[in-house]
Amino acid sequence: MAEPLLNVDNLSVSFVTYGRSRQVLRNVSFSVAAGERVALIGETGSGKSVTAKAIIGTLPKNANISAGTIGFAGRDVLSMPRAEREALKGTAFSLIMQDPLSSFNPVFKIGTHLDDVMRFADKRNGISTSKAERRTRIAAVLRRVQLADGERVMNAYPSELSGGMRQRVLIGLALLHQPKLLIADEPGTALDVTTQDEILNLINQLVKEENMALLMITHNLGVVRKVADRVVVMHHGDIIETGPCAEILSNPSKDYTKALLEAVPPLYGPRVIDLPRSECAPIVTIKGLNKIYGKRPGYHAIRDVDLTLREGEIFGLAGESGSGKTSVARIIMELSRPTSGTIDIDAPAPGRGRRLTQIVYQNPGTSLNPKRTVKQTLSLPLTSIGMDADAREARMRELLDLVRLPQSYLAKYPHELSGGQKQRVAIARALAAEPKILILDEPTAALDVSVQKTVIELLMQLRQDLGLTYLMISHDLSLMRNFCSRIAVMLRGEIVEEGVTPEVFADPKHPYTRALIAAIPVVTDVEERLKPIVTEEERMRFLVKTTA
Amino acid sequence: MADMKMLDASDRGLSSGYMMWYRFSRNPAAVVGSLILISIVILAVFAPWLTPYPKHVGAVVDFRARHLPPDASHWFGTDKAGRDIFSRTVFGLRVSLLLVIGVLGISVPVGTVLGLIAGYFGGWVEKLITGLTNVMLAMPPLVMALAVSNLLEPTLTNAMIAITLLWWTWHARLIYSVSKSIASEDYIEAARLAGAGPIHILFREILPNCLAVISVKTTLDAAFVILFGATLSFLGFGVKPPTPDLGSMVADGRQFMPDFWWEVLCPGAVVFYVTLGFNLLGDGLRDMFDVEN
């Protein structure tokens, strides 16, 4: 094999925080050949983003490269003078950033962002160009990322574009100078599945056409299967294993990789869990629900929604952002009033300070008050139902046992806990005053898959032990396949399909459901083949207007 | 128990006290600022024992010693009545610190509570409180203070009242914006769902998240209060003679400039020293808490 394009050899990086040094990368070695697609995969804290930053040269000040080399086309990047290294950015390698919104300065037009990058790069290369000439070059780049109406995009402010369009512009930005290596840091993670699917297709196509190499950084194993030839699995700063994509995904040799793969909820196949249907009486009945935000004409967030939740079941409400699923949940929680329609909850009225419904939020980082200990957080609902200090103490111990956290965690503040632990505390808080119905608003969306697995197992156990009814809101259909007994799919405020989960997945009736399922990145080829078939025309119909 | 092992692996958070001390101790501004303030507080509290001529605080006249330049026995020289300026400035610190405690002791809690209420409740309460603060902020502070001191007798208490009337608005406005953004957090809604009343949410959920901002703002404000108080007494609306006050000492010495420069410069330098101390500490606290603005 010839000299690889990118060669990371024995890279060790440590961070110094608060006077303590912490090793974040240990002897990381891997290479990317020209035209090859490599995925760096790992969970939070695995060091995958640090690796990318080390390559690009954007490590924070408190980082220290203690050993190793990064070779690009045979030259050591780390020993280069600063100016020379700067010049590599954009031309040798480019980065596609994760968040398509925060990567743009909201007060500048898209065209200005692109023009700035091009102008400075031209200046560095000693070429003087006119604005008009740069504009035609930019339009050409935008066409390459399938933004047809380049003129309109250039004159738009970032907030005027959809997430998918912004992500495309970011890719265009990375492509401006024909880089040899494209580094993508979780592209599409912040987007809806159907849009993410489009973005991944685009990246694939571009890499092939331009003969670029791709270094994809992701936590999603499904994404890996779609865009990588070779996979590097990282965990706590070490490389666990490296190998061809198909081999790692189908037959991993290391336990960690196996556990990681097992934690991914399957969409089809023998590993899928079918939940028994509940035959109990309906506990929540929603009829003719409408919600209009704002005054005439207003935004019609929910249109004529009818729903029934049976006691003891896990009902899934699926949909992409803006579909109205969270609005439905907030109305059930009595956090907002419906414009029309009725909600009946068929349960005896709860006692003083108690509620029939409680909620577990998506992001445990923002749903726990950072200045309050676990004990303070948990004692609040217990005080409201009139418990005295001793009873509270006993109940808190019980709650921590329920969510399987050690008793010593009562004294901890949220920042001392991991994401999964915080979510457990949030679940304990929701359960404290014994609600009947728990609304789960994407409860694992902010967690790693292995943590997701344990949280989901916990929720299943709790439902069984406490006889709860769950309403799960999510966009993650593969998770819902294994967690919900019935499912409804929402699109632009309407329920377009509803049914028993296995039936919906085996034979989705509505084309939107088919498009959604088809867009989910799956881990095995078998699952890919079992996905419903979607025509190109159907796919484009439900895509959030990306190129309009 | 794979589950438990994973829990322990992530359990390596440093205590927030350690992190704050680390940031504080490595911030020269904060350390110097707090040393300055400690020295000021010690001087002010123990003034009668630390000054060479504690009697000179009163109506002492010693014409033989008038307008002496700084030397070993009179570090800052003497004034027109022959009183030791060093002793008087140290006692003047007491007045300044009392002013800070009095003004901020009232305006910070008042401003904080009003800001919290306006930010959390919204609606007409918000309109009323922000409207009131905007009206107050539109008045030129010096004119307002002079008007109040003019109406009432020019004493320390009245100067305090005048400054306090203005000062709470700045805090109300700052805490209002912080409280408004915190009020939209998930954990506030979660607390409401857990049955918390407005008092609990305001003072147990939102207030703790404002403390960093409040302490930074209060420290920086202390410097301005001292300057403002000095300005008032310089203009003759502060403490009555013979009680020493930094502002009025500068005013008294002004007529003897430039011949007896120490009579203006030394009390002026002390005002500078105190103000600098509060400002450095305020900046240091800001870095320590990572507060923006």
The string of pLDDT tens digits covering residues B239-274 is 777 788 888 888 888 888 888 888 888 889 999 999
pLDDT for residue B14: 61
pLDDT for residue B3: 33
DSSP H helical segments within A109-254, as ranges?
110-124, 131-144, 150-154, 163-175, 193-210, 221-227, 245-250
Is 70 exceeded by the pLDDT of residue A259? Answer: yes
- Listed residue (B158, B141, B157, B140) closest to B149, CA to CA: B158
Task: Summarize the confidence of residues B148-161 as an average pLDDT.
Answer: 79
| Adjacent-strand bridge partners of A316 | A472, A487
Of B4, B16, B187, the CB nearest to A366: B187
Average pLDDT, chain B: 84
ipTM strictly over 0.85? no
pLDDT for residue B292: 46
Contacts of residue A329 in chain B, CB cutoff 8 Å?
none
Count CB neighbours of A509 within 10 A. Answer: 14
Of A18, A384, A416, the CB nearest to B22: A18
pLDDT for residue B259: 83
- A371 in contact with B at a CB cutoff of 8 Å? yes
What span, in angstroms and rounded, lies between the C-alpha atoms of B207 and B113?
9
Residue-wise pLDDT for A71-86, tens only, equals: 888 888 888 888 888 8
Task: Summarize the confidence of residues A418-443 as an average pLDDT.
Answer: 92
User: Which domains, and CATH codes, for chain A?
Assistant: 6-263 (3.40.50.300), 265-347+437-510 (3.40.50.300), 367-435 (no CATH)
Task: Summarize the confidence of residues A504-529 as an average pLDDT.
Answer: 87
- B187 to chain A: nearest residue by CA? A367
| A383 min Cα distance to partner chain B (Å) | 9
Q: Which residue has the higher pLDDT, A374 or A270?
A: A374
- Segments of A355-510 assigned E as strands: 357-360, 437-441, 469-474, 486-491, 494-500
State whether B11 and A384 contact (CB < 8 Å). Answer: no
What backbone torsions phi and psi does residue A230 show, to the nearest 5 degrees? -130, 150
Is 90 exceeded by the pLDDT of residue A18? Answer: no
| A465 min Cα distance to partner chain B (Å) | 19
Compute the radius of gyration of chain B from its Cα atoms: 24
* Range scoring the smallest mean pLDDT among A364-368, A524-528, B3-7: B3-7
The answer to whether the CB of B280 falls within 8 A of the CB of B36 is yes
Residues of B engaging A, defined by a Cβ cutoff of 8 Å: 3-4, 6-7, 10-11, 13-16, 18-19, 22-23, 185-191, 193-196, 200, 204-205, 208-209, 211
What span, in angstroms and rounded, lies between the C-alpha atoms of A498 and A476?
16
State whether A19 and B22 contact (CB < 8 Å). Answer: yes
State whether B10 and A432 contact (CB < 8 Å). Answer: no
pLDDT for residue B11: 37
CA of residue B185 relative to chain centroid, distance: 31
pLDDT for residue A160: 84
| Adjacent-strand bridge partners of A359 | A439
Task: Summarize the confidence of residues A496-514 as an average pLDDT.
Answer: 90
User: Which domains, and CATH codes, for chain B?
Assistant: 26-48+72-289 (1.10.3720.10)
pTM for the whole thing? Answer: 0.85
Q: pLDDT band for B128, please (50, 70, 90 cuts).
A: very high
Identity of the amino acid at A100 = P
- Give the CA dihedral A128, A132, A134, A140, nearest 10 degrees: -150
What span, in angstroms and rounded, lies between the C-alpha atoms of B58 and B77?
17
Buried b (16+ CB within 10 A) or exposed e, A48-78: bbbbbbbbbbebeeebeeeebebbbeeeebe
Of A335, A361, A381, the CB nearest to B194: A381
- Listed residue (B181, B192, B194) closest to A336, CA to CA: B192
Count CB neighbours of A507 within 10 A. Answer: 11
Task: Summarize the confidence of residues A319-335 as an average pLDDT.
Answer: 87
- A433 in contact with B at a CB cutoff of 8 Å? yes
The answer to whether the CB of B219 falls within 8 A of the CB of B285 is yes
Residue-wise pLDDT for A519-542, tens only, equals: 888 888 888 888 888 877 777 777
- CA separation, residue A459 to residues A95, A332, A484 (Å): 38, 20, 12
Q: pLDDT band for A29, please (50, 70, 90 cuts).
A: very high
Is 70 exceeded by the pLDDT of residue A131? Answer: yes
pLDDT for residue B176: 95
pLDDT for residue B9: 33
Residue-wise pLDDT for A368-407, tens only, equals: 998 899 999 999 999 988 889 999 999 999 999 999 999 9
- A368 in contact with B at a CB cutoff of 8 Å? yes
Residues of chain B above pLDDT 90, percent: 35
- A323 in contact with B at a CB cutoff of 8 Å? no
Residue-wise pLDDT for A157-191, tens only, equals: 888 888 888 888 888 888 888 888 999 988 877 77
What span, in angstroms and rounded, lies between the C-alpha atoms of A507 and A268?
12
- A15 in contact with B at a CB cutoff of 8 Å? no
- B200 to chain A: nearest residue by CA? A380
The answer to whether the CB of A113 falls within 8 A of the CB of A102 is no
Is 70 exceeded by the pLDDT of residue B12? Answer: no
Retrieve residue A473's tokens. 């809101």
Residue-wise pLDDT for A194-239, tens only, equals: 888 888 888 898 888 888 899 999 888 888 888 899 999 999 889 9
- Segments of A299-349 assigned E as strands: 299-310, 314-318, 340-345
Is 50 exceeded by the pLDDT of residue B54? Answer: yes
Of A359, A371, A420, the CB nearest to B208: A371
Residue-wise pLDDT for A444-479, tens only, equals: 888 888 889 999 999 999 998 998 999 999 988 889
Identity of the amino acid at B101 = I
Contacts of residue B200 in chain A, CB cutoff 8 Å?
380
pLDDT for residue A86: 81
| A114 min Cα distance to partner chain B (Å) | 30
Chain A / chain B CB contacts < 8 angstroms: 87
On the CB side of A307, CA atoms within 13 Å amount to: 31
Q: Is residue A199 helix, strand or coil? A: helix
- A369 to chain B: nearest residue by CA? B187
**DSSP code per residue over B144-211:** HHHHHHHHS-SSHHHHHHHHHHHHHHHHHHHHHHHHHHHHTSHHHHHHHHTT--HHHIIIIIIHHHHH
- A119 in contact with B at a CB cutoff of 8 Å? no
CA of residue A522 relative to chain centroid, distance: 14
The answer to whether the CB of A66 falls within 8 A of the CB of A12 is yes
Is 90 exceeded by the pLDDT of residue A439? Answer: yes
Task: Summarize the confidence of residues B182-188 as an average pLDDT.
Answer: 92
State whether B195 and A353 contact (CB < 8 Å). Answer: yes
